[in-house]
Amino acid sequence: MILLSRSRKALLALASGVALAGCMSQGASIVSMPLPTQLGPAGNQFKASFPHSPTRVTYEDSGTKQAQYGVGVQTNTTYVSGGDGPPVVNVWVESLTNTVPPRRVNPFLRSYLAGHGGRIIKWFGRPAAEEFVPGCNPSGQCVGTVGNLVVLDGTTIYFIWTQQNSRNAAQDEIRTFRVVG
């Protein structure tokens, strides 16, 4: 999440910490996924399965280009859904200043992941990266799995983050995500 401002990084860290701390008291359980919901403005719509109706927040960004990627963020719309613990689903839709230069696409996609490298993939024909890592809190206790998927669609980035009780549930959640259009 290189392109997020410090205040948004702090907010993301806080939200992630609350989600991870909440999952510590949860036992493993089978979660049935709701049907995917279509969200987003025309031209930036997506579908994903959310555990609860998501809250939407839009941020304006400076558009300052990051030298290492040759691109900046103009706006970020975040859809947040979850409770005190798993399942939690967040989707960020970022409007970029320009297309990412081809030789920088893979490092740019990986910059959104938690730092474990992830895998570069194609998501329904679009460049993407994904990773699934243990859901650990700052004390080092690991419960459940965090799944991340970042998809590049022209000048739009879609980043889905989920905290689930198991790796399979996190993978199932990520598989509900689709770019519409």
Q: What is the pLDDT of residues 109-135, one digit of tens each?
A: 999 998 767 999 999 999 999 999 988
Grouping H, G, I as helix, E, B as strand and the rest as coil, residue 109 is helix
pLDDT of residue 9: 43
Interval 126-170: pLDDT, tens:
999 999 998 876 677 777 899 999 999 999 999 999 999 899 999
Grouping H, G, I as helix, E, B as strand and the rest as coil, residue 129 is strand
Separation of alpha carbons 79 and 53, rounded Å = 9
pLDDT of residue 116: 66
Interior/surface letters 78-97, b for 16+ CB within 10 angstroms, e for the rest: bbbbbeebbbbbbbbbbbbb
* Token pair belonging to 130: 């994904």
pTM of the model: 0.80
**Which residues, in sequence order, are CB contacts of 1 under 8 Å at separation 6+?**
9, 12, 111, 112, 159
Name the band, by pLDDT with cuts 50, 70 and 90, for residue 68: very high
Interval 11-54: pLDDT, tens:
444 444 444 444 433 444 455 778 999 999 888 999 999 999 99
What CATH number does domain 6-179 carry, 2.60.40, 3.40.1000, 3.30.230, 3.40.50?
3.40.1000
The domain limits of the chain are 6-179
